[in-house]
């Protein structure tokens, strides 16, 4: 089939998947019992007259049949109109909310992901190569512990230790407000604010990945071609780092692709715990306020991000595995 | 590298004495190889036959010390090219493997690394043991592929294992194994997973290589036909022990061990009539708890009391012919 | 001596001390939850504004929270909630997954295709998005909703596993034998195939319980749960504002979550290793 054709096919597949996602999100929000408008206004705590409710309803097109509403909504989405947030807090087009915050969230997620992958691979390979050794047991136990801890709790405990008691790192937010910083200082300021959040996500994710990498590696080391490599006289070190490692990368890449959701939930939690104004915290706030129009738009954007991440992993996989291209 | 002279004084290329390899598993200790003696001389082709799970593959893996946990070589001596294999360090073994002793495995699809090209894998074997400039390695690889009769070697060496057919993969494995002109080639069931027609081709290939290179070959198989075509000497293995060992003609025509006899009888020829298929009654014993005494006795028609109590010793029955059976003479007489 | 799969699994499991510990902890937690009214009488988790934010001491093992509730007692009652929610989610998940996976794997063909498309559809959306949207779209926030949402997001994985088990098991000779003896489809599935697929379901189920406990805590922490119900997540969330002055409010419930999740993971790991045919050491 050829590599280019394969990649094109994967890219094209994203489109129908995306549409399916839009249908689901749309149905989920519109099929729930209860009048969304009233709920929304109820959450915001402002008393509201039925007249206004009716007006908003007409403006949002909620008195139209379901499929018409869907088509209108999709039409708007595709032209960049992701709806408007009606809640008192935001009251702005969702698109502007998103563009403000997206790079922060993406930055955090990508950094956490990169850190985790590096650590998990390094430790996982070593642990598998020396199964049952001290370092293997140490890592495996730590991973199990880390994997069982709630992310938000880790965040709170670290805040307590490093911010409140030791005063080493800032408690919340993405930067220090009210103070003017020259650019380099500003970067450092932001970095110190983001160290803990990124570490918290990485901690859980590394634990998870490590276990998988180790088990994949053990599986690879059991394969016949590893015996062949040894029978050829390949040094044990090369057997592990050349023959086994490359084969472990394949399922690991797949795994990373499948677990983008993991990093995403980590981001949502961490942004809430550390009060970071990113997409994750926005998502939760909108949900709490039942700001449905905005929630739909944001859900869609997040889903696209995940789909794109999956696409990248697919492509990366096809670049590594020679069997895919033909 | 110093040559560690073996305590065993021997003239054979490979001399294995009382080899014991056990596997320590949850269900118990599997005595896969429990006291095996054999030897292979230079230039000869030695066959090791037996049914599945009799330990022959374990013998094959033990010689170049490729046994991994939970298995371990627990006893015996292996002398190769005058050196004590069991006393060598891992680094020294790495130099021997692929260079002096190389192996061909049963399943070529799973035995070749799927993410490297055939050329890269054979090239690796060459570069590991021979000081050849990079530019020439490809030439060498092409030459070897030609020798194993792979068409269009220059182009095909850039292919991946999954692009080769089963027979071609096995040829590639053989190419990899002979690339450094080893003294001993151990082939573990090289044709078992191939089609019958491809089997015949590989057989022919091995015959011609044998003549050309004068490499010693240890052929592990359960296919007696293969043994008849290729081997000079053959040992019959049962439940972790050698039952009988001699040159091919003797084993086939004048076997003295009941098991060998039974094997020969059980192999149908073109003249065997359909109603006459002979099977050995009973089952192959589990190697965690092998039978007391002679391991074959529960299935043997010559078995008597002593067979159930004591293991028969290895006895000389003629020129280079050894048998382990209490009733070998009887068996011989009832020809 | 022939050993069946179950016996081998049991023997391997027994050797795994960590899993035993995990299982033991779970049993203790379940007992604790069952006997909550006895160990921690309800009075201790009522609001008592005279004893707010007391540090851990002889009277209150883990201190009290901002509303005067005894943290230790709250944790015990919270165990009830967590376990009930997790158990409900697990039950729903297994019902859905086994039904879909079994039918898809057994009948194959178009039925399989359609059912697999449906599972794919759910897998398209990121878990957290699906969870949050489902939980927030209903008027009333309840823990049952959380359980249902978690079941909805997790059943596709188990369905896939069940399906692949069924796909391979249905080719086994004993199925053909049963069919040739005239057994109905349902009987074959229920009596022959399902017991063999049980090991995957058990392992996955145990690991999923750990997930459910974590996710439920996370959702309640974020404020998406029933504000009135006793749950670990909400207590931790309330303790956020007092990290400096009353660290025990957030720390101990989190520890509880950690221990229970760890126990489930240990148990799940042990079960998985016990059933895995490849590990023989």
Closest CA to C251 of C30, C36, C71: C71
Q: Residues B58-76: what's their mean pLDDT?
A: 91
State the average pLDDT for chain C.
84
Q: By residue range, what is the domain housing residue C77?
A: 5-44+60-275
Helix H or strand E segment including B330: helix B328-333
Q: What is the pLDDT of residues B102-118, one digit of tens each?
A: 999 988 889 999 989 99
DSSP class of B275:
G
Report whether B245 contacts B233 (CB < 8 A).
yes
d(CA C74, CA A234): 60
| Tens-place pLDDT, residues C196-238 | 788 889 889 999 999 999 999 999 999 888 888 888 998 898 8
Of B298, B199, B287, B203, nearest in space to B237 by CA: B287
Q: Give the domain CATH number at C256.
A: 1.10.3720.10
Confidence at residue A223, expressed as pLDDT on a 0 to 100 scale:
92
| The pLDDT of residue A83 | 67
CA angle C110, C179, C5 (to 5 degrees): 95
CB pair distance less than 8 Å for C281 and B25: yes
- Give CA torsion, residues B183, B184, B185, B189, to 10 deg: 170
Q: Is the CB of C3 less than 8 angstroms away from the CB of B27?
A: yes
The pLDDT > 70 percentage for chain C reads 94
In this structure, what token pair is assigned to residue C60? 């209150």
Give pLDDT, residue C1: 30
How far from chain centre, in Å, is Cα C107? 29
Token digits of residue C174: 């004993």
Mean local confidence (pLDDT), A139-156 = 92
Mutate which: A232, A253, A317, vs B, most B CBs within 10 A: A232
Residue A198: pLDDT band (50, 70, 90) is very high
Distances (CA, A) of C100 to A197, A240, C68, C89, C159: 39, 41, 48, 16, 6
Q: What is the pLDDT of residue C20?
A: 84
**Residue that the structure tokens 């590696």 belong to:** A217
> Higher model confidence: residue C253 or residue C191?
C253
Q: Using pLDDT thresholds of 50, 70 and 90, give the confidence band for residue C5.
A: low
Tell me which residue has tokens 């391979």.
C168
Q: What is the pLDDT at residue A114?
A: 93
pLDDT of C2 over the 50 cut: no
Sheet of strand B28-40: strand arrangement: B28-40, B14-25, B71-80, B83-84
C8 and B27 within 8 Å at the Cβ level: the answer is yes
Give per-residue pLDDT as tens, A217-266. 999 999 999 999 999 999 999 999 999 998 998 889 988 888 888 899 99
Q: What pLDDT is stored for residue B1 in this prediction? A: 41
A87 pLDDT above the threshold of 80: no
pLDDT tens readout for residues B279-317: 777 777 878 888 888 888 888 888 888 888 888 888 888
d(CA A305, CA A264): 10
Is residue B332 within 8 Å of residue B260, measured between CB atoms? Answer: no
CA dihedral angle for residue B78, residue B79, residue B81, residue B82, rounded to 10 degrees = 160
Residue partners of A282: CB distance under 8 A and separation at least 6: A97, A98, A101, A298
Contacts of A81 (CB under 8 A, 6+ apart): A93, A95
Least confident window among A178-187, B313-322, C230-239: A178-187
Distance from CA of B259 to the nearest CA of A (A): 31
Helical H segments across A64-182, by residue range: 66-78, 94-129, 134-148, 151-158
Asked if residue C281 is part of any domain, the answer here is: no
The CA distance from B220 to the nearest CA of chain A, in Å, is 16
Q: Is C146:C128 a contact under the CB 8 Å cutoff?
A: no
Instruction: Give per-residue pLDDT as tens, B150-186.
Output: 999 889 989 999 899 888 999 999 999 999 889 999 9
Chain centroid, CA A84 distance in Å: 24
Render pLDDT for C100-153 as a digit per residue (tens, 0 to 9).
888 888 888 888 888 888 888 888 788 888 899 888 888 778 888 899 999 999
> C154: pLDDT confidence band, cut at 50, 70 and 90?
very high
Query: Given B97, B107, B115, which is nearest A232 (Cβ)?
Result: B97
Phi/psi at B192 (nearest 5 deg)? -60, -40
Tell me the shortest Cα–Cα distance from C257 to chain A, in angstroms.
Answer: 7
Note the pLDDT of residue A325: 61
Is residue C146 one of the residues assigned to a domain? yes
What is the average pLDDT across A103-118?
93
Q: How many CB atoms lie within 10 A of CB B79?
A: 22
Across the range B18-33, mean pLDDT stands at 88
Chains that touch C (3 or more CB pairs under 8 A): A, B
- Per-residue pLDDT, B20: 93
Asked whether residue C65 is domain-assigned, the answer is: yes
Per-residue exposure over A150-174, b if at least 16 CB sit within 10 Å of its own CB, e if not: bbbbbbbbbbbebbeeeeebbbeeb
Q: Which of B31, B43, B34, B23 is nearest to B218 (CA)?
A: B43
Give the predicted TM-score (pTM) of the model.
0.84
A-chain CB neighbours of B176 within 8 Å are 228, 232
Contact: C125, A260; criterion CB under 8 Å: no
**pLDDT value of position A73:** 77
- Closest-CA residue of A relative to C254 is A153
Distance of CA B38 to the CA centre of its chain: 11
Residues 6+ apart with CB under 8 A from A183: none
Query: Is C52 inside a domain boundary?
Result: no
Q: Cβ–Cβ of C8/B69 closer than 8 Å?
A: no
pLDDT for residue B118: 92
Could you report the predicted ipTM of this complex, rounded to two decimals?
0.86
More confident residue, A203 or C50: A203
Q: What is the side-by-side strand order in the sheet with B101-104?
A: B101-104, B184-188, B216-221, B45-49, B233-238, B241-247, B321-323, B315-318
Residue C215's pLDDT is 92
Query: What are the residues whose beta carbons fall under 8 Å from the beta carbon of A2, sequence distance 6 or more?
Result: A325
- CB nearest to B70's CB, from C3, C12, C280: C280
Report which of A303, A258, A27, A244 is spatially closest to residue A121, judged by C-alpha positions.
A244
Q: Specify the residue for token string 């540090």.
A: C55
A69 to chain B, minimum CA–CA distance in Å? 51
First-last CA distance in chain C: 19
Q: Which pLDDT does position B2 carry in this prediction?
A: 45
Would the CA dihedral through C99, C105, C109, C114 be positive or negative? positive
Q: How far is B92 from chain A (nearest CA, A)?
A: 10
Q: Do C258 and A148 touch (CB under 8 A)?
A: yes
Residues with Cβ < 8 Å from A26, sequence gap 6 or more? A69, A70, A73, A296
Residue B50 has pLDDT above 60, yes or no: yes
- What pLDDT sits at residue A91? 65
Q: Cα distance from B23 to chain C (closest Cα, Å)?
A: 9
Q: Which residue has the tokens 């699994």?
A: C9
The answer to whether position C53 is within a domain reads no
Contact C280 B27 (CB under 8 A): yes
Token representation of residue C72: 């230790």
Q: B6 pLDDT exceeds 60?
A: no
Q: Is residue C104 part of a domain?
A: yes
Tokens representing A170 are 């800032």
At CA C117, angle to CA C114 and CA C120, rounded to 5? 155
A264/C222 Cβ within 8 A: no
Work out the mean pLDDT of chain A and round it to a whole number. 84
Token output for A238: 């090369």
C-alpha distances out from residue C231 to A150, B54, C51, Å: 14, 60, 21
Poorest-pLDDT segment among A167-181, A191-205, B182-196: A167-181
Degrees to nearest 5, angle at CA A302 with A296 and A303: 85
**Per-residue pLDDT, C281:** 46
pLDDT one-digit tens code per residue, A268-288? 999 999 999 999 999 998 888
Using alpha carbons only, how large is chain B's radius of gyration in Å?
A: 21
Look at residue C181 and tell me if it is in a domain.
Answer: yes
Q: A5-9, A117-121, A310-314: which has the highest mean pLDDT?
A: A117-121
Query: Which residue, A81, B104, C73, is CA-closest to B112?
Result: B104
Q: How many residues does chain C have?
A: 281
Instruction: Check if the beta carbon of residue B240 is closer than 8 Å to that of residue B33.
Output: yes
pLDDT of A85 > 70? The answer is no
In percent, the amount of chain A with pLDDT more than 70 equals 88
Strand partners, B242: B237
Distances (CA, A) of B175 to B60, B185, B209, B327: 19, 11, 10, 44
> Which pLDDT does position B301 carry in this prediction?
82
Q: Is the pLDDT of residue C3 over 60?
A: no
- Chain B adjacent subunits, 3+ CB pairs under 8 A: A, C
Residue C256: closest C-alpha in chain A:
A149
Predicted local distance difference test score (pLDDT) of residue C172 = 80
The predicted-structure confidence for C17-47, as pLDDT tens digits, reads as follows 788 888 888 899 888 888 877 777 777 777 7
Q: Rounded distance, CA C246 to CA C251, Å?
A: 9
Q: CA B138, B140, B144, B149 torsion: positive or negative?
A: positive
Question: What residues of C are in contact with residue A25 (Cβ under 8 Å)?
Answer: 125, 133
Dump pLDDT digits (tens) for B220-255: 998 888 898 889 999 999 888 998 999 998 888 888
Q: How many Å lie between the alpha carbon of B25 and the closest alpha carbon of chain C?
A: 5
C143 belongs to a structural domain: yes
Q: Say what the pLDDT of residue A27 is.
A: 82
Q: What is the DSSP string of A205-227?
A: HHHHHHHHHHHHHHHHHTSHHHH
- Structure confidence at residue B82 as a pLDDT band (50, 70, 90): confident
Identify the band that residue C277 occupies on the pLDDT scale cut at 50, 70 and 90.
low
Q: What total of structural domains would you count in chain C?
A: 1
**Given a cut of 60, is residue A326 above it in pLDDT?**
no
Closest CA to A65 of A54, A73, A77: A73
Chain C residues whose CB is inside 8 A of the B70 CB are 280-281
- Residue B111 to residue A224, Cβ atoms within 8 A: yes
Verify whether the Cβ–Cβ distance C125 to A269 is below 8 Å.
no
Which of 231-260 (C) contact A at CB < 8 A? 236, 239-240, 243-244, 247, 250-251, 254, 257-258
| Beta pairing partners, C70 | C64
């Amino acid at each position: 089939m050829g590599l280019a054709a394969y990649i094109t096919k994967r890219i094209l597949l994203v489109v129908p998947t995306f549409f399916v996602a839009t249908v689901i999100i749309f149905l989920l929000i519109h099929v729930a019992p209860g009048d969304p408008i009233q709920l929304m206004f109820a959450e915001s705590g402002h008393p509201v007259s039925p007249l206004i409710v009716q007006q908003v309803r007409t403006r949002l097109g909620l008195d139209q049949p379901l499929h018409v509403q869907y088509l209108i909504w999709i039409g708007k989405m595709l032209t960049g109109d992701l709806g408007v947030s009606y809640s008192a807090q935001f009251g702005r087009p969702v698109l502007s909310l998103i563009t403000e915050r997206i790079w922060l969230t993406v930055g955090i997620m990508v950094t956490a992901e990169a850190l985790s992958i590096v650590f998990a691979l390094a430790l996982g390979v070593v642990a598998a190569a020396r199964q049952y050794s001290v370092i293997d047991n140490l890592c495996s136990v730590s991973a199990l512990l880390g994997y069982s801890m709630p992310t938000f709790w880790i965040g709170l405990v670290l805040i307590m230790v490093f911010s409140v008691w030791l005063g080493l790192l800032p408690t919340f937010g993405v930067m220090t407000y009210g103070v003017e910083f020259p650019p380099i200082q500003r970067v450092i300021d932001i970095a110190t604010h983001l160290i803990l959040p990124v570490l918290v996500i990485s901690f859980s994710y590394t634990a998870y990945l490590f276990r998988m990498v180790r088990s994949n590696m053990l599986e690879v080391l059991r394969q016949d071609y590893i015996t062949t490599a040894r029978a050829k006289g390949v040094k044990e070190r090369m057997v592990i780092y050349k023959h086994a490692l490359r084969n472990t990368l394949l399922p690991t890449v797949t795994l990373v692709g499948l677990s983008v959701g993991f990093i995403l939930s980590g981001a949502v939690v961490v942004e809430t715990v550390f009060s970071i104004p990113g997409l994750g915290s926005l998502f939760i706030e909108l949900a709490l306020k039942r700001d449905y129009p905005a929630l739909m738009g944001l859900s869609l954007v997040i889903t696209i991000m995940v789909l794109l991440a999956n696409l990248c992993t697919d492509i990366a996989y096809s670049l590594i595995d020679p069997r895919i291209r033909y | 590298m110093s040559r560690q002279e073996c305590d065993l004084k021997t003239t054979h290329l490979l001399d294995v004495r009382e080899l014991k390899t056990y596997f320590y598993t949850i269900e118990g200790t599997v005595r896969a190889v429990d006291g095996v003696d054999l030897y292979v001389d230079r230039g000869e082709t030695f066959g090791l036959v037996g049914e599945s799970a009799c330990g022959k593959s374990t013998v094959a893996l033990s010689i170049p010390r490729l046994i991994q946990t939970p298995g371990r070589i627990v006893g015996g001596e292996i002398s190769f090219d005058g050196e004590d294999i069991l006393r060598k360090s891992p680094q020294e073994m790495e130099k021997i493997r692929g260079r002096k002793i190389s192996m061909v495995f049963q399943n070529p699809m799973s035995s070749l690394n799927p993410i490297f090209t055939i050329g890269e894998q054979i090239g690796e074997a060459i570069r590991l043991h021979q000081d050849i400039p990079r530019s020439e390695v490809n030439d060498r690889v092409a030459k070897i592929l030609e020798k194993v009769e792979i068409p269009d070697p220059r182009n095909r060496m850039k292919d991946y294992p999954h692009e080769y057919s089963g027979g071609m993969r096995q040829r590639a494995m053989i190419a990899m194994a002979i690339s450094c002109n080893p003294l001993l080639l151990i082939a573990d069931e090289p044709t078992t997973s191939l089609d019958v027609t491809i089997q015949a081709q590989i057989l022919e290939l091995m015959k011609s290589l044998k003549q050309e290179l004068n490499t010693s070959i240890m052929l592990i198989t359960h296919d007696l036909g293969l043994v008849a075509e290729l081997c000079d000497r053959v040992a019959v293995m049962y439940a972790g022990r050698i039952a009988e060992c001699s040159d091919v003609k003797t084993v086939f025509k004048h076997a003295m061990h009941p098991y060998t006899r039974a094997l020969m009888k059980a192999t149908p020829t073109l003249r065997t009539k359909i109603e006459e298929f002979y099977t050995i009654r009973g089952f192959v014993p589990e190697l965690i708890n092998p039978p007391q005494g002679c391991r074959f006795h529960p299935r043997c028609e010559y078995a008597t009391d002593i067979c159930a109590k004591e293991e028969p010793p290895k006895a000389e029955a003629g020129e280079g012919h050894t048998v382990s059976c209490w009733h070998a003479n009887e068996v011989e007489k009832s020809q | 001596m022939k050993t069946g799969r179950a016996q081998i699994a049991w023997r391997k499991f027994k050797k795994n001390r960590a899993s035993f510990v995990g299982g033991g902890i779970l049993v203790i937690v379940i007992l604790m939850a069952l006997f909550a009214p006895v160990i921690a009488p309800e009075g201790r988790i009522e609001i008592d504004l005279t004893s707010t934010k007391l540090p851990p001491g002889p009277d209150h093992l883990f201190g009290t929270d901002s509303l005067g509730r005894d943290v230790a007692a709250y944790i015990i009652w919270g165990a009830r909630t967590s376990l009930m929610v997790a158990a409900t989610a697990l039950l729903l998940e297994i019902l859905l997954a086994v039904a879909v996976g079994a039918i898809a794997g057994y009948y194959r063909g178009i039925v399989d295709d359609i059912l697999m498309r449906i599972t794919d559809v759910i897998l398209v959306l990121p878990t957290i998005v699906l969870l949050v949207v489902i939980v927030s779209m209903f008027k009333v926030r309840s823990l049952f909703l959380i359980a249902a949402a978690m079941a909805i997001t997790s059943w596709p994985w188990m369905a896939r596993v069940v399906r692949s088990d069924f796909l391979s098991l249905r080719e086994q000779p004993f199925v053909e034998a049963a069919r040739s003896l005239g057994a109905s489809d349902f009987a074959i599935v229920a009596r022959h195939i399902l017991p063999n697929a049980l090991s995957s379901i058990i392992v996955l189920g145990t690991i999923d319980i750990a997930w459910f406990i974590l996710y439920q805590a996370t959702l309640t922490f974020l404020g998406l749960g029933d504000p009135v119900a006793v749950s670990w997540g909400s207590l931790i969330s309330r303790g956020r504002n007092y990290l400096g002055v009353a660290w025990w409010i957030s720390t101990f419930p989190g520890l509880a979550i950690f221990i229970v999740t760890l126990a489930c993971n240990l148990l799940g790991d042990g079960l998985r290793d016990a059933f895995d045919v490849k590990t023989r050491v």
